[in-house]
């Protein structure tokens, strides 16, 4: 369980830092994410 939490947190941190490169608003099924604030909220859920 602890290892999973460490990996999950690492992946979320990487995704947060990569918002500009990923541009989720341009991806199918993620068009509702219009800015970095929404992106961070989405990743916390």
Contacts of 12 (CB under 8 A, 6+ apart): 43, 44
Does the pTM of the predicted model rise above 0.85?
Answer: no
pLDDT at position 44 is 85
Instruction: Give the residue from 33, 29, 1, 21 showing the smallest Cα distance to 41.
Output: 33
**Domain boundaries, position 32:** 2-44
Under a CB-based contact definition with an 8 Å cutoff, are residues 42 and 27 in contact? no
* Rounded-to-integer distance, Cα 3 and Cα 13, Å: 15
pLDDT at 45 over 90: no
pLDDT at position 1 is 72
Is residue 6 very low, low, confident or very high in pLDDT (cuts 50, 70, 90)?
very high
What average pLDDT is seen over the chain?
Answer: 88
pLDDT at position 10 is 93
* Rounded-to-integer distance, Cα 31 and Cα 13, Å: 21
| Residue found under tokens 């541009």 | 23
Number of domains in the chain: 1
pLDDT at position 2 is 92
């Amino acid at each position: 369980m602890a290892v999973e939490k460490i990996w999950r947190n690492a992946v979320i941190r990487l995704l947060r830092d990569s918002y500009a490169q990923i541009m989720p608003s341009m991806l199918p099924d993620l068009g509702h994410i219009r800015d970095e604030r929404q992106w961070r909220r989405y990743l916390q859920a």
